[in-house]
Amino acid sequence: MREIFNEMIKEKMYHYEHESGLNVYVMPKKGFIKQYAMFATHYGSNDSEFIVPGETEITHVPDGIAHFLEHKMFEEEDGSIFEEFSKNGASANAYTNFTTTAYLFSSTDNFYDNLKLLLDFVQRPYFTDENVEKGKGIIAQEIRMYDDDPSWRLFFNMLGGLYHLHPVKVDIAGTIESISKIDKDILYKCYRTFYHPSNMVLFIAGDVDINKVVDIVNNSVKADKRQGEIKRIYPNEPASINKNYVEQKMAVSMPLFNIGFKDYDVGYGGKKLLKKDIVTQICLEILAGRSSDLYEELYNDGLIDSTFDTEYVGEIDHGYSIIGGQSNDPEAVKQAVLDKILKVNSIDDSDLNRTKRKITGRFLKSFNSVEGISHNFITYYMRGINILDYTTTIEEITHEDVLNRFKTFFNEKNCVLSVIKP
């Protein structure tokens, strides 16, 4: 068991690697009432083409299969696993995004029983022709629901504008047509490929006994032989954007907008990616944060309201920034953003230091919640990043880093405006 400690924030976690290759991380939070556990696999909706370890042929699977598999994992021969967690006083859930599928629970009692249950059911898939067909109907309803969600369509329309070929532009749940092609055999193949312990991670936060956790892992996780690397195949995505404007009409009272910037500086993870992530957050805060000149100008002109916000998503193989909200004139907001970017020729000391403090404070606040810690850990882990490197990395960021990011990333040629109009 290896201890990882951050002197600056006085936080530590322990790392244990099981013989199967499963990585286990525990962050003790003495005195916390709630415990939280996440069992996650590096497998998301982007992984629609891959070569199984030991094979040479490319496997292509229908869009939406990672999400479909997540849904089916909760089904047991005798019912739903949710009922078992409820009997133990725990709240269980799961999610699938572009890169990750995670199963989780929170509890205030019976933590170790729930941990055994989590590890057990994720290692015990149960797919039949009948339950797969039933699942198609349920997930088709979910797809229709998201098709009618203006915020969801706004986001994916933006991605469709940013990307020509990359699977990130495809809805995580797939389409009704694509899920119709899923059967139990392809589900089992994807499960065996991506749910091997060596492609997974277990993270736990709370007031727990580390030795008990290790004992449960050793008794519950199958000591499978470590598999080779899964070769994930993604298309050669051009650096350019697909289209600079996307519009859709839906039942909204005021136009919604996302201004997206495509990141073409990709292909790496670890501390380098973490630094880029934080630098981009700093840029967005200086450019369009609540205390920025741009925000005040747009707000006073009646072009934005309190829904105006920013976000950066930086994965190993793709990335994008979003500036969005609602406005009666999204095109004017976009032009104001681009005009302000052109005027950024230097970074003021006070702006940089204030923004660093704000972002650091936001990060540290997440350690007050076992949910916040856990979700941040899994998100960064899948990018090859140690969450405890965050504070030291932010201290290293210079004016030049921020100014260079402004000049190379935020420009009109990689910008898309997605709008949902009434």
Q: Is 9 within the bounds of a domain?
A: yes
- Each residue's pLDDT tens digit, 152-177: 999 999 999 999 999 999 999 999 99
Indicate if 402 and 289 belong to the same structural domain.
yes
What is the DSSP pairing of strand 231-232 with strand 245-249? unpaired
Q: If pLDDT is split at 50, 70 and 90, which confidence band does 5 have?
A: very high
What was the pLDDT predicted at 78?
Answer: 78
Q: If pLDDT is split at 50, 70 and 90, which confidence band does 79 have?
A: confident
Q: If pLDDT is split at 50, 70 and 90, which confidence band does 75 have?
A: confident
Indicate if 132 and 190 belong to the same structural domain.
yes
Number of structural domains the chain divides into? 2
Of 179, 204, 232, the last residue of a domain is 232
What was the pLDDT predicted at 166?
Answer: 97
Q: If pLDDT is split at 50, 70 and 90, which confidence band does 1 have?
A: confident
Indicate if 48 and 26 belong to the same structural domain.
yes
Q: How far apart are CA 128 and CA 116, in angstroms?
A: 24
What was the pLDDT predicted at 67?
Answer: 98
What was the pLDDT predicted at 342?
Answer: 94
- Each residue's pLDDT tens digit, 210-241: 999 999 999 999 877 778 899 999 999 999 99
What was the pLDDT predicted at 306?
Answer: 96
What was the pLDDT predicted at 227?
Answer: 81
Q: What is the mean pLDDT of residues 44-71?
A: 96
What was the pLDDT predicted at 77?
Answer: 78
- Each residue's pLDDT tens digit, 112-165: 999 999 999 999 999 999 999 999 999 999 999 999 999 999 999 999 999 999
Q: Is 240 within the bounds of a domain?
A: no
Q: How far apart are CA 25 and CA 213, in angstroms?
A: 10
CATH of the domain at 66: 3.30.830.10
Indicate if 335 and 408 belong to the same structural domain.
yes
Q: In the predicted model, is pLDDT for residue 261 greater than 90?
A: yes
Indicate if 68 and 199 belong to the same structural domain.
yes
Of 194, 210, 232, the last residue of a domain is 232
Give the domain range for residue 165: 2-232
Q: Is 239 within the bounds of a domain?
A: no
Q: If pLDDT is split at 50, 70 and 90, which confidence band does 338 have?
A: very high
Q: If pLDDT is split at 50, 70 and 90, which confidence band does 246 have?
A: very high
Of 232, 257, 286, the last residue of a domain is 232
Q: In the predicted model, is pLDDT for residue 45 greater than 80?
A: yes
Q: What is the mean pLDDT of residues 335-355?
A: 94
What was the pLDDT predicted at 263?
Answer: 98
Q: Is 237 within the bounds of a domain?
A: no
Residue 11: active-site member: no
Q: Is 331 within the bounds of a domain?
A: yes
Q: How far apart are CA 405 and CA 117, in angstroms?
A: 46
pTM, entire model: 0.96
- pLDDT above 70 coverage of the chain, percent: 100
Indicate if 272 and 300 belong to the same structural domain.
yes
What was the pLDDT predicted at 333?
Answer: 98
**Active-site option among 11, 70, 84, 315:** 70
- Each residue's pLDDT tens digit, 89-102: 999 999 999 999 99
What was the pLDDT predicted at 228?
Answer: 87
CA triple 83-86-89, angle to 5 deg: 160
Indicate if 252 and 186 belong to the same structural domain.
no
CA dihedral 288, 294, 295, 296 (to 10 degrees): 150
Indicate if 199 and 261 belong to the same structural domain.
no
Q: Is 238 within the bounds of a domain?
A: no
Q: If pLDDT is split at 50, 70 and 90, which confidence band does 14 have?
A: very high
- Each residue's pLDDT tens digit, 369-384: 999 999 999 999 999 9
Indicate if 184 and 273 belong to the same structural domain.
no
Indicate if 283 and 167 belong to the same structural domain.
no
What is the DSSP pairing of strand 309-314 with strand 319-326? antiparallel
Q: How far is CA 296 from CA 308, 338, 403, in A?
A: 11, 16, 22
Q: In the predicted model, is pLDDT for residue 80 greater than 90?
A: no
Indicate if 205 and 283 belong to the same structural domain.
no
Indicate if 310 and 204 belong to the same structural domain.
no
Mean pLDDT estimate for the chain: 96
Q: In the predicted model, is pLDDT for residue 56 greater than 80?
A: yes
- Each residue's pLDDT tens digit, 278-324: 999 999 999 999 999 999 999 999 999 999 999 999 999 999 999 99
